[in-house]
């Protein structure tokens, strides 16, 4: 019998409410990175639906009043540069006040450029050196098994990130131990630092590779909340293998017309200049 989500956790009533939360996260990502004057808003925007569904769709069981609750589910942001989406979710969930988001990347703030678990409750792994989160997730999933606990581990990687060999070391080991309490979501947003992911290093077919490594795979439109919720439900219920969700998304989802106007649909590692912020927020509706 799966434990219930603590009452202190936020669970949306329905898809519409989830969509409202997703919109708030997008606003927070844009505001916080523009305020910081640096950061990775476009890489954060692509993952908003996945992060929203995990934290507010009833999948992650957490207690914002007790971030180190031993039985909590774990979410590891392996693509650590997308920290703004994680921070926005943690603020929405009540781990810290929303106004703290405006301290992003500033001296003294625990909201560092990349997540630092030693300074911020709710962060489950210190990331930013790509390719490492899945191994940490394997370790956490093994710990659950040793202790016969039912907590689950979700890892979000980038699509460029899976060029790192360690991802495949981790994938093979997760399959060896049949870690069905582990889910890897690949944010397939099609871009990495210098260009199109498939041109820099073609890793297609991603689902085929994970299947070959012994994983159960699902491919979805990762910017469609309904599809994300359904895929997470299937991953959570699937037994005998870890599940990889290949989440097809757009880098900069939500403000694409503006990025097109600016002539840069990758927009890697750039904050939106303050003069475009209102236009971007208007696009979010």
Partner 1 sequence: MAGATSALQSKRPLGKATRDAFGRALEALGAERPDVVVVDADVSNSTRTEWFGQKFPDRFFNIGIAESNLVGIAGGLASCGKTPVIASFACFIMCNGYDQLRMAVAYPGLNVKVVGTHAGISIGEDGASQMGIEDVALACSLPGFVVVVPADEASAKAATRAMLDHRGPVYMRLGRPDVPKVYETDNPPFRLGQANTVRDGRDLTIVANGLMVAAALDAADQLAAEGIEARVLDMHTVKPIDREALKKAAQETGAIVVAEEHLAHGGLGSVVAMAVAELEPVPIRYVNLGDRFGESGSPEGLLEKFGLTAENLAAAARAVIAAK
Identify which range of 86-94, 163-171, 196-204, 231-239 contacts partner 1 by CB under 8 A. 163-171
Q: Indicate the burial class of 237 (C-beta count within 10 angstroms; 0-12, 13-18, 19 or more).
A: exposed
52 or 135: CB nearest partner 1: 135
Sort residue 114 into left (φ over 0), alpha (ψ -120 to 50) or beta.
beta
Of the residues 97, 108, 165, 240, which one makes contact with partner 1 according to CB under 8 A: 165
Residue 116 within binding range of partner 1, rule CB under 8 A? yes
Nearer to partner 1, 181 or 217 (CB): 181
Quote the least distance from Cβ 172 to partner 1, whole Å.
7
Region of 97-105, 111-119, 232-240, 259-267 interacting with partner 1 (CB under 8 A): 111-119
CB of 124 to partner 1, least distance (A): 7
Options 25, 90, 170, 232; binder of partner 1; rule CB under 8 A: 170
67-96: contacts with partner 1 (CB under 8 A): 70
Give the residue with the Cβ less far from partner 1, 144 or 185. Answer: 144
Is 12 in contact with 18 (CB distance < 8 Å)?
Answer: yes
- Least distance CB 103 / partner 1 (angstroms): 20
Nearest distance, CB of residue 22 and partner 1, angstroms: 28
Task: State how far Cα 134 lies from the chain centre.
Answer: 12
Q: How far is the CB of 40 from partner 1 (least distance, A)?
A: 18
* Among the listed residues 30, 129, 139, 137, the one whose alpha carbon sits nearest the alpha carbon of residue 87: 30
Q: What is the DSSP string of 157-169?
A: EETTGGGSHHHHH
Residues facing residue 221 across a β-bridge? 248
68 backbone dihedrals φ, ψ, rounded to 5°: -100, 15
What is the nearest approach in angstroms of partner 1 to the Cβ of residue 223?
Answer: 29
| Burial track 127-142 (b if 16+ CB lie within 10 A, e otherwise) | bbebbbbbbbbbebbb
Q: Candidates 27, 102, 117, 258: give the one binding partner 1 (CB under 8 A).
A: 117
Q: Is the distance from CB of 218 to CB of 243 less than 8 angstroms?
A: yes
Contact code string over 177-216 relative to partner 1, x by CB under 8 A: x---------------------------------------
Binding residues among 118-157 for partner 1 as defined by CB under 8 A = 118, 124-129, 131-132, 134-144, 146-147
Q: By C-beta, is 143 or 262 nearer to partner 1?
A: 143
| H helical segments located in the chain | 15-36, 41-45, 48-56, 83-93, 133-146, 165-176, 197-200, 206-212, 225-237, 256-261, 277-283
Please tell me the distance from the alpha carbon of residue 33 to that of residue 54, in angstroms, as a whole number.
Answer: 22
For residue 85, give the nearest of 18, 40, 20, 133 by alpha carbon: 40
Read off the tokens for 240. 């005998």
Residues lying near partner 1 in the complex (CB under 8 A): 70, 116-118, 124-129, 131-132, 134-144, 146-147, 165-166, 169-170, 172-173, 176-177
């Amino acid at each position: 019998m799966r434990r219930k989500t603590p009452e202190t956790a936020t669970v949306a009533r329905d898809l519409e409410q989830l969509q409202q939360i997703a919109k708030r996260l997008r606003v927070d990502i844009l505001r916080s990175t523009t305020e910081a004057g640096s950061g990775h808003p476009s890489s954060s925007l692509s993952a908003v639906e996945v992060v929203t569904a995990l934290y507010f769709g009833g999948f992650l069981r957490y207690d914002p009043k007790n971030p180190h609750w031993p039985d909590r589910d774990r979410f590891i942001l392996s693509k650590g540069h997308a920290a703004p989406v994680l921070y926005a979710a943690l603020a929405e969930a009540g781990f810290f006040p929303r106004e703290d988001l405006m301290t992003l990347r500033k001296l003294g703030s625990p909201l560092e450029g990349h997540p630092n678990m030693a300074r911020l409750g709710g962060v489950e792994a210190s990331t930013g050196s790509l390719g490492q989160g899945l191994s940490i997730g394997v370790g956490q999933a093994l710990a659950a098994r040793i202790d016969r606990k039912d907590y689950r581990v979700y890892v979000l990687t980038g699509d460029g990130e899976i060029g790192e060999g360690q991802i495949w070391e981790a994938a093979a080991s997760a399959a060896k131990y049949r870690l069905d309490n582990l889910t890897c979501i690949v944010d397939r947003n099609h871009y990495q630092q210098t260009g199109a992911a498939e041109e820099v290093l073609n890793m297609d077919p991603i689902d085929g590779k994970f299947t070959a490594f012994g994983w159960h795979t699902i491919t979805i439109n990762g910017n469609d909340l309904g599809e994300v919720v359904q895929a997470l439900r299937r991953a959570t219920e699937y037994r005998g293998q870890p599940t990889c969700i290949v989440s097809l998304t757009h880098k900069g989802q939500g403000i694409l017309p503006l990025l097109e106007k600016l002539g840069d649909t990758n927009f890697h590692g750039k904050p939106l200049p303050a003069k475009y912020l209102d236009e971007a927020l208007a696009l979010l509706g």
